[in-house]
Amino acid sequence: MPTPLGNLRDISARALDALRDCDLLVAEDTRVARRLLNLYGIGGKQVWSYREQNAAGVTAPILERARTERVVVVSDAGMPGVSDPGRELIVAARLAGIPLEVLPGPVAFVTAAVLSGFPTTGLSFEGFVPRSASARRDALDAALRRGAASAWYESPNRIAATLETLAQLAPEARVFIARELTKLHEQQILGTPAEALAALERPVRGEVVLVLEGTTERTQPRGSEADAADALDLDAAIDAAFARGRSVAATAKELAQAHGLARAEVYARAAARKRERGDRH
């Protein structure tokens, strides 16, 4: 059963009925689940924890209860099984012959994709952006080449690096950022990767959804500006500009003009380089 993304009023009448009528509530975080129960005055419910770390030990007892009782499974927000615990439990229940029902409700990436205004024909959900720099670049490059919109979940600690990578791959691509959907401090950003990076509230907090507008038109194909940046050793050139007292913006303008590079790409890499240097000095 899905639970609200943030605003706890975004819950259906059927979902409330399911919570009231269940014999056992299985939750990703029991504290989050009890806040929801308390808000709607639903008391006396037994709540079990189900997450990746304890799934092996609790799956069998959950299924045993589900054979004769009404068991409801929820995640902290949105639909269980969509980048949240739940899929393996569904598979196990089917293998055990236990009837299943999924209530319709909130899904963060669908909400963000609709908000983006991008065409949703062929929309793909890619889960979380890969953590490593090379895997992140390869995954985003592949998504750009598919020609259809893609939706991703991202950590607030890594969204800046993801936007910097997109600025290098396709500086003119359009992206949509939805942060803290349905919550008090919701933020929506539409623009190029560099524009989205500049508009992000700092420090970045909360849940982040990235929607990338697919395009087969690569504004920066390999073999031209990207190869020129590799040949130049862009990080070394940026360091040299910083040593002369240049700002990030001045460095981007200077190197882009001198070497025929996209200014957005140089700006993104210079901003990243500045943070790296700041960590060391």
The residues facing 154 across adjacent strands are 208
Q: Dig out the tokens for 188 from the structure.
A: 């929506």
Distance of alpha carbon 181 from alpha carbon 154, whole angstroms = 13
Report the range of poorest mean pLDDT among 74-83, 177-186, 225-234. 225-234
Domain extent at residue 244: 225-280
Amino acid making up residue 191: G
**Is 87 found in the same domain as 48?**
yes
* CATH number, position 135: 3.30.950.10
- pLDDT tens digits, residue range 228-272? 445 457 888 888 888 888 898 888 888 877 777 777 778 888 888
Among 38, 70, 95, the domain-final residue is 95
* CATH number, position 80: 3.40.1010.10
Amino acid making up residue 12: S
pTM: 0.73
**Is 120 found in the same domain as 29?**
no
Q: How many structural domains is the chain composed of?
A: 3
Is residue 70 situated within a structural domain? yes
Distance of alpha carbon 121 from alpha carbon 125, whole angstroms = 12
- pLDDT tens digits, residue range 150-168? 999 999 999 999 999 999 9
Among 64, 95, 126, the domain-final residue is 95
**Is 193 found in the same domain as 129?**
yes
- pLDDT tens digits, residue range 93-126? 999 999 999 999 999 999 999 999 999 999 999 9
**Is 186 found in the same domain as 121?**
yes
Largest CA distance in the chain: 74
Is residue 128 situated within a structural domain? yes
Is residue 218 situated within a structural domain? no
Is residue 120 situated within a structural domain? yes
